[in-house]
Structure 1
Amino acid sequence: MPLTLLVIVLSVVAWLWLRNQPASQRKPAILKLALIAGIGIVVLLAVTGRLHFVFAALAFLYPLLRRVLPSLLSGAANGGAEGKSGNQSRVSSDILEMSLDHDSGTMSGKILKGPMAGRELADLSESEFLELLRYCRAQDEDSARLLETYLDRRFGDSWRADDDASNDDGESREHGNAGGPLTEREALDILGLEPGASREEVIRAHRRMMQKVHPDHGGSNYLAARINEAKECLLG
């Protein structure tokens, strides 16, 4: 009875863990659970003195495993690769490089140029953010919009109370057109796609990204404009 209860508890834990995995990672996760379960069964049979049943089963199933196992492992590897591709979008300006995680919707960024070059945005203090924003506004409007988008997603509107320029021209910045024309590589990076992506993949990626950043859903006008540009660049 205790063994049955343990199996039930472990099954529930495994199911909850599997359910919380991203859809693209579920196939590798199932294979991992199957491997763990198999090891557990072998250990249990060894402890109870029934390990000979495992050898008998392996001898019977060996021809089948020899054919099926390589394809399963190959599928798991491909599944992992698919999960990684298209999982992040990158948007760059003259001063900043941003990444948007498709699953969590969180943004991360790095400073490419200026007095704080090389630093991660996550490491900046509030006063440093405002200093960086003033620098971006003076040097590159695109970078300023991109940083405002990051600040909005991370802090909401609270940062604007300390920003003297927000009440004057913050809204007009946000609603303006995005910067210069995109290259194909930049468009692919924005949508999180690899070279050679099909028309259907571009459309799906555009739809997925717009659900994350559309202004009607609390997102950014600037990012939405860039995502629309990326789609037009790749389909035009």
Structure 2
Amino acid sequence: MPLTLLVVVMAVVAWFWLRNQPASQRKPAILKLVLVSGILMVVLLAITGRLYIVFALLAFLFPLLRRVLPSLLMGRMSGLGTGDASAKPGNQSHVSSNILKMTLDHDSGTMSGEIVEGPMAGRALADMGEDEFIELLQYCRGQDEDSARLLETYLDRRFGDSWRTDDPAGDDSAEESEPENSSSGGALSDSEALDILGLEPGASRDQIIQAHRRVMQKMHPDRGGSNYLAARVNEAKERLLS
């Protein structure tokens, strides 16, 4: 009974710890929990004389591990090999407009954002419903074209094409706001360019090129991004290399 109670307490503590982790850090946190739990389980089984259960489980899972483990290790090594010491914590890019501030997590490819101006200022996009997004989109289209393009990209990543059926402007507006070679309405500052590529001041030429390649893999239109975001990434690279 005390052992069962200990397991329950540890599980509750682990759950609260995981819940308090930033969204961008939850995947690594889960991996840490799995690793620590596995080690504790092996120690516990060894103390109770039931270590044979681990060997039996490994023998059962060996065919699966032999196929999955190499690819996992190669993916991890690849991530370490392309790591950038000048990247920001969490490996993120930030793209801002007059109304919105967006964050793209390089590891997960997820996009989050908040409203910084207008009637809905201060709200996080993750807490909004689809009807509210249409209202916000109409406001952005009337106030700032860049904000409208940025929000459309977010909606495409979150809802796919479903939100367009509720868009009063229809597909024509999407085509007009996302031309083939779209670009931003204003020149980027060095600070904005660094934010977009997820770099710190003083990044070298090679680091800028590597960061551009990494971010473009997430923001390219062929990978769920948009022409607008791809143009901003290219502008950021050109600004920092000029």
Structure 1 residue 220: Cα displacement: 0.9
TM-score (structure 1 length as normaliser): 0.66
After TM superposition, the structure 1 = structure 2 runs for residues 97-108 of structure 1, keeping only pairs within 5 Å, are 97-108=101-112
Q: In the alignment, does 2:142 pair up with 1:138?
A: yes
- The residue that corresponds to 1:160 in the other structure is 164
User: C-alpha displacement at 1:177, in angstroms?
Assistant: 2.2
Structure label with greater radius of gyration: 1
AA in 2 matched with 1:156: G
Q: CA deviation at 1:83?
A: 7.3
Q: Could you tell me which residue of structure 2 aligns to residue 70 of structure 1?
A: none
Q: CA deviation at 1:179?
A: 2.1
**Distance of 1:83 and 1:185 partners within structure 2:** 14
In structure 2, the residue matched to 1:215 is 221
Which residue is 1:122 aligned to? 126
Who is 1:196 aligned against?
202
Between Structure 1 and Structure 2, the one with more helix by share is 1
Number of equivalences:
178
Is 1:85–1:193's contact at 8 Å kept on the other side of the alignment? no
User: By how many angstroms is 1:224 displaced?
Assistant: 0.3
Task: Measure the CA separation in 2 of the matches of 1:113 and 1:224.
Answer: 24
C-alpha separation in 1, matches of 2:170 and 2:102: 21
User: One-letter code of the match for 1:222?
Assistant: Y
Root-mean-square deviation over aligned CA pairs: 3.2
Report the more deviating stretch, 120-129 or 166-175: 166-175
Task: Tell me, in whole angstroms, the C-alpha distance in 2 between the residues paired with 1:166 and 1:210.
Answer: 28
Question: Which structure 2 residue ranges, 5 or more long, are not aligned?
Answer: 1-24, 49-82
**1:149 and 2:142 aligned:** no
In structure 2, do the counterparts of structure 1 residues 87 and 220 end up closer, same or farther at CA, with 3 Å as the change threshold? Answer: same
Report how far residue 206 of structure 1 moved: 0.3
In structure 2, what is the equivalent of residue 64 of structure 1?
Answer: none
> Structure 1: where are the runs of 5+ without partners?
1-21, 48-78
Say if 2:130 is the partner of 1:111.
no
Matched with 1:53 is none
Q: Post-superposition, which runs of at least 4 consecutive aligned residues in structure 1 deviate over 6 A? A: none
Query: Residue 183 and residue 82 in structure 1: after superposition, are their counterparts in 2 closer, same or farther (change >3 A)?
Result: closer
Give deviations 1:146-185, integer Å, cap 9, x for gaps. 0001001111111011102132221121123222000000
2:190 equivalent to 1:184: yes
Q: TM-score, normalised by structure 2?
A: 0.64
User: Sequence identity of aligned pairs in percent?
Assistant: 68
